[in-house]
Amino acid sequence: MILALILASLFAIIRVVRFPVLDAATRLFISFFRGTPLLVQLFLFYYGLPQLFSFLTAIDGVTAAIVGLTLHFSAYMAESIRAAILGVDRSQWEAAKSIGMSTGQMMRRIILPQAARVAAPTLINYFIDLIKSTSLAFTLGVTELMGAAQKEAAGSFLYFETFIVVAVIYWVVVESLAFVQSKIENRLSKAVSR
């Protein structure tokens, strides 16, 4: 989650500042990861790539799932961060530049903190989606919540009971995140509340 956020911020800045080569590369990256299904990407990483590069066979399902989910969601988050950055009033950029800040200082101290307030609700949406998407890791042979449930149900035939428990667990996790969300949003908007 954190990794995806950091990566997404980097991509967003690259796109906003328009670093020559990196911008084009980032565009292609985002286009690919938004344009193809997550499941396909995970399979490609875990089952496909090791056929081309033998050193990748050493990667286990957990790592592959983390890398895949990170890249996939960073592509989505980059676009919402980019939109939030562009939403920060032009005068804020000019004021930062006028006092002699470098682009990095301006982003870190002025622009990103303001963009964060705007981006927070959609980013948390992606986090929620990310948490639920970890259930796809069982297709890579990872025994996470869903994989464990699958085995349990197959052994006991208690399909409904097992999967309702799984659903409730996800629900509780996501709801607690939603609780954190309201805290974060309050904090980020303290500068604009009167």
Partner 1 sequence: MIQIRGLTKIYNGVPVLNGIDLDIKKGERIAIIGPSGTGKSTLLRCINFLETPEQGEYILDGESIDVQKANAAQIKEMRLRTAFVFQNYALFANKTARENIAEGLITVRGEAKETAFERANEILQNIGLADKADAYPASLSGGQQQRVGIGRAMASNSELMLVDEPTSALDPEWVDEVLQLLTRVAQAHQTMLIVTHEMAFAKEIADRVLFMEGGRIVEQGPPEKIFTSPDDPRTRSFLRKVL
* Residues at the contact surface with partner 1, assessed by CB under 8 A: 89, 91-92, 94-102, 105, 109-110, 113-114, 190-194
Give 72 or 117: the residue with its C-beta nearer to partner 1: 117
Tell me how far, at minimum, the Cβ of 18 lies from partner 1, in Å. Answer: 16
37 CB-near residues (< 8 Å, 6+ apart) = none
Continuous H helices in the chain: 2-17, 20-35, 38-43, 49-52, 61-87, 90-98, 103-106, 112-133, 145-156, 159-188
Measured from the CB atom, the residue of 92 and 139 that comes closer to partner 1 is 92
Is the Cβ of residue 12 or residue 149 nearer to partner 1 in the bound state?
12
Q: Please, what is the minimum distance in Å from the beta carbon of residue 13 to partner 1?
A: 17
Closest to partner 1 by CB, 75 vs 111, is 111
- Closest approach, Cβ 108 to partner 1, in A, equals 9
Cα atoms in the 13 Å half-sphere on the side-chain side of 56: 13
Whether 49 contacts 71, CB under 8 Å: no
Least separation, in Å, of the C-beta of 124 and partner 1? 19
Cβ atoms of 86 and 16 within 8 Å: the answer is yes
Instruction: Compare residues 71 and 110 and give the one whose CB is closer to partner 1.
Output: 110
Min dist. Cβ of residue 23 to partner 1 (A):
20
Give the shortest CB-87-to-partner 1 separation in angstroms. 12
d(CA 113, CA 100): 19
Of residues 27 and 109, the one with the C-beta less far from partner 1: 109
149: which residues sit within 8 A by CB, 6+ positions away? 162, 163, 165, 166
> Which residue do the tokens 């197959």 mark?
154
How does DSSP assign 135-169, residue by residue? GGGGGGT--SHHHHHHHHHHHH--HHHHHHHHHHH
